[in-house]
Structure 1
């Protein structure tokens, strides 16, 4: 069955690594050792992505569990920097989405994303609106690799699993997609993706990045 849709993860696929300046400023403002900051930052990130915490609650909890106190205004600034940290665009992949659309393929974003980060990204990245379907985890109170979130985007696209290609940098999310019959490739960079698409014979069905 021919491909009809390409679904992209957001972070580390449509965007690059964390912005180092924003990350460094977050660590500086929190004032904890780097490893302790990273531990606290990632401890509740999945809950944030699932909508169990708002952006304000996420940072309030991190500050509290770090044994710190910060004003509401200071926490709002941490939220702002968090959004900045995930704003480094992978221009080649964004340009590829435009090519795919011109080729007649549907495109979607399926991302584990918290509310405040999404608000920041939508305010700065107008290209996000060019995708046919957007699925942001916090809005559904579920996150990858929950099979239900993949079924949700398939329903929104109106495609069968075998008609859909999914790209994500995390292996567990790729495995979950494949378990549902979705074609899936673990993304590392555009050059490697190009080679994998050729190896899979998909260069006959879609333009290459």
Structure 2
């Protein structure tokens, strides 16, 4: 709406009426709302990836036929950010505490290759280091958007108990290759085209001993 407002022709009644309709629609649907803790942060994270596309969409609502008043909107290379390390996002404190309780007491029946649902969490057992003990790929319903969900990898150790090893926005699967004793992770997400539609893009991450780092190697 900010981008649209910048190009509205105040002397053109149709432009003014169209923009006022957009404002009325926003006020009707978005002024009052409730959300779970952690949802707002997740939503902001989703939207930040589409910022340039949203600006382009706002400007396109009010064609200016090349007028000099049109703001310059930079096109993003991709709304699927390629991260060097998989450690940038964490669960909100309350959600993390609930997950710790689940991992400590309620995962005895969640020890197959199938995903299981416990409350708002989905847990997928994996054994990334082949030690016979399960790690878990975890998603939470409130950490999802149009491009996918945030996925968190949790592992248990004798010294620290359950702790987060990695996090990524998108579909996370276990690769076939083992690096430094850990299986690679493949992160796949949507890349939206400026002209419409989207493609899937994937990246492989390898264990360095301290975390998962972007790798050029095959999965």
With the shorter chain as reference, the TM-score category is under 0.3
Per the normalisation by structure 1, the TM-score is 0.24
Per the normalisation by structure 2, the TM-score is 0.24
Does 1 or 2 have the higher relative contact order (CA < 8 Å, sep 6+)? 1
Task: Point out the structure with the larger strand share.
Answer: 2
Task: Point out the structure with the larger helix share.
Answer: 1
Higher alpha-carbon Rg: 2
